[in-house]
Chains A and B, each alone.
Chain A
Amino acid sequence: MFILTLALRNLFRNTRRTVITSGAVVFGVAFQVLGWGLVDGLDDNFLRAVATTTTGDILIRPPDFPTDGLSYPVEEASIPPAFADFSGESAPRALFTARVVHHGDAARGMGVAYEPDADYTVFPRERWRVTGVWPDSGKAEVALGDAMARMMGVGVGDQVTVQARTVEGAQNAMSYAITALIHTDNGQMDNSAIWLRMEIAEELLQLKGRRTHVSLRIGGLQDAGTVRDELVAAGALTAPDGQVWSATTTREEAADMLAINDIRRRAILLLVGVIMAIAATGIANTVIMAAYERVREIGTLLALGMKRRDVSALFLVEGALLGFGAGLAGAVLGSFAVLYWQSNGIVLSEDLMKSQSALPVSAVIYTHFNWAPVLGSLTFSAVIATLASVQPARFAARLNPADAVRAD
């Protein structure tokens, strides 16, 4: 305890030097905590965007349906499993590649044929912004992603033609009135979605009850992977025609995007490692300067009977306190920033959203506070600082008290 007290007071002998030395650690730790919070927030953002617009918690597809999320061959549609014993909600959909034509202008998009009652239960729409009203039952109406509509220069009340292949592979086209422009949490949907009620899409695509996807929403805190495995084990994914549909969780569906974020995390770690290495040099320099400046004091402590290991411990504790204190300051700063943006969100600029509008992310990124990077970076900074103090501590502990007590 005495060594801790003495070390703490020694740290504040030269406050300016201590603060300057701490700067790199403060920056490094704050950067890590904030960077991690941002990348975790991106993960959340992406998972939320996907789960609330396209996948639900579990996405069921026919066995041969592509999983790249870029092509939607309606020819692969078939009669889906019934999920009679599933306790959650299910929403069958038919996704298809389509073109929207308006006065000679055409845009390629992703058709989303949905069953309104079921769809609402799996995809909560409270956060969506709907300009107009959703298409009415049985009417030749369509809703478009707001970014797509903006790009085509169309709005509510305009008449557009939707062209698509039927399940049998024939080209078909029908004219619809736009009743709503839809803005979701998913930029990709807003940029390409052509929303048709299922009974209207049945006519356009000749579906005859066939579907390309079923999205499941599981209740409570169940793990999607576990539920999926139970469905597989229970044979619930077997369709009436005997085909076994494949099931993926949202996290599996988002694996590519999450992997990119993992690369971002590694890049942050690498950068923080470099910052910490620079900080460690500064700490080593500060502690060794302290040792050289305090030779007579060390000699006095040795003369008074302090053990060499305690002298060594004194300098190690000084280094550790410097690292921990600076790390704590950085962690507090970083955490405040993460918590602030966790509540308020970071609104991406319009330009950025335009350039990233094909990505399934929302325009507002909410950072995600996580204790792991806070505790990890705190420990890391304390350990690095302690290691940086080993050499100065050895120097101090090896001093000859007879010479040291008379040092200038």
Chain B
Amino acid sequence: MTTTSAGSEPSPTPLCELVGVKKNYPLGDLIVHAVKGVDVRIYAGEFTAFAGPSGSGKSTLLNLVGCLDRQSEGQVYIEGRDVATLSDTELGDVRARRIGFIFQSFNLIPVLTAYENVELALRLAGLVRKGHKERVEEALRSVGLADYMGRRPAQLSGGQQQRVAIARALVKTPALIIADEPTANLDSKNGAAILDLMKSMNADNGTTFLFSTHDPMVMERARRIIHLQDGQITGDERRDLTNPSPSGASVAPHGA
């Protein structure tokens, strides 16, 4: 069985590659095998979701791709760099400059305004320089929050907070944006709006998004869905979203 790609064709060099990756956690006297040998490539411009039930290893894989954690075995490459060879500080630099994060609980800094939260990403990436103000304002404008820049998170709705988080992830123009169940804390209307926003950014700017989710709304919009079960990939589905019929999707069992 072959994998059929839909939408934009992936570029030949993967943005991110996992080779034989395993992740084990100690839990008391036990070892929990959260990820059991995963091989996967994520290409620039993709809009991909890791899908699966709780405990399937979605978030663990996002942690590894996002350089938030280190694998127990195997290799993780980000833009061709083996993260195992990077120090903690270098990993921090990769996160600061190349990866944007969107979290389920928004994770804004409550004492900072929307503007400052977005600016924070530039600051930590070392990108606070001439013209950064316009860049922050443009990021907030692009998510529809031009009039809310001076508000703190507590003064914003959940949907608005997630938009700030998206602006924060986008502002440094990272290679990859990782979104960990971004709609889980939003109602369906706000969830759909947020997803459509990210989708349009993917379509318009080619921003690469990688989700973890079990939200049908996300899966409806994802062009690639990697199915996970018990720490292993059980399917890699590429979908042609221009064709809404089920035949527009093809599923490849992992290893195919």
Contact check, A305 vs B97: say whether CB atoms are below 8 A apart: yes
Residues of B within 8 A of A406 (CB): 59, 103-105, 180
Contact check, A306 vs B69: say whether CB atoms are below 8 A apart: no
- Residues 261-307 of A at the B interface (beta carbon under 8 Å): 296-297, 299-307
Contact check, B109 vs A308: say whether CB atoms are below 8 A apart: no
Q: Smallest CB-CB separation from B59: which chain A residue?
A: A406
Is A6's CB within 8 Å of the partner chain B? yes
Is A387's CB within 8 Å of the partner chain B? no
A307 to B89, CA, bound (A): 7
Would you list the 8 A-B pairs with minimal beta carbon distance, nearest first? Answer: A305-B96, A9-B111, A402-B69, A402-B68, A402-B63, A300-B107, A305-B124, A305-B95
Contact check, A400 vs B69: say whether CB atoms are below 8 A apart: yes
Residues on B facing A (Cβ under 8 Å): 59, 63, 66, 68-69, 88-89, 92-93, 95-97, 101, 103-105, 107-112, 120-121, 123-125, 168, 180
Is A140's CB within 8 Å of the partner chain B? no
Contact check, B109 vs A303: say whether CB atoms are below 8 A apart: no
Q: Can you identify 9 A-B contacts, CB atoms within 8 angstroms?
A: A301-B109, A301-B124, A304-B120, A304-B121, A305-B97, A306-B124, A307-B92, A401-B68, A406-B103
Q: How far is the CB of A304 from chain B (nearest CB, A)?
A: 5
Q: How far is the CB of A177 from chain B (nearest CB, A)?
A: 82
**Given A296-B105, A300-B103, A308-B95 contact (CB < 8 Å):** no
**Candidate in B96, B125, B168 with the most chain A CB atoms within 10 angstroms:** B96
Q: How far is the CB of B148 from chain A (nearest CB, A)?
A: 19
New A-B pairs, 17, CB < 8 Å, besides A304-B96, A304-B101: A9-B112, A13-B111, A296-B105, A297-B109, A301-B109, A302-B68, A302-B92, A303-B66, A303-B68, A303-B101, A304-B121, A308-B88, A308-B89, A308-B92, A401-B69, A402-B69, A405-B103
Contact check, A405 vs B107: say whether CB atoms are below 8 A apart: yes
Is A175's CB within 8 Å of the partner chain B? no
Q: Smallest CB-CB separation from A6: which chain B residue?
A: B111
Tally of A interface residues using CB under 8 Å: 22
A307 to B104, CA, bound (A): 23
Contact check, A296 vs B107: say whether CB atoms are below 8 A apart: yes
**Candidate in B89, B96, B109 with the most chain A CB atoms within 10 angstroms:** B109
A119 to B88, CA, bound (A): 81
**Given A305-B97, A305-B124, A300-B111 contact (CB < 8 Å):** no
Residues of A within 8 A of B111 (CB): 6, 9-10, 13
**Candidate in A296, A306, A308 with the most chain B CB atoms within 10 angstroms:** A306
Residues of A within 8 A of B101 (CB): 300, 303-304, 405
- Residues 223-249 of A at the B interface (beta carbon under 8 Å): none
**Candidate in A13, A299, A305, A401 with the most chain B CB atoms within 10 angstroms:** A305
A303 to B180, CA, bound (A): 13
Residue interface mask A392-408, B partner, CB < 8 A = 1: 00000000111001100
Q: Smallest CB-CB separation from B106: which chain A residue?
A: A300
Q: How far is the CB of A52 from chain B (nearest CB, A)?
A: 59
A35 to B155, CA, bound (A): 47
Q: How far is the CB of B56 from chain A (nearest CB, A)?
A: 16
A122 to B96, CA, bound (A): 77
A2 to B109, CA, bound (A): 13
A405 to B95, CA, bound (A): 14
**Candidate in A2, A10, A300 with the most chain B CB atoms within 10 angstroms:** A300
A344 to B120, CA, bound (A): 53
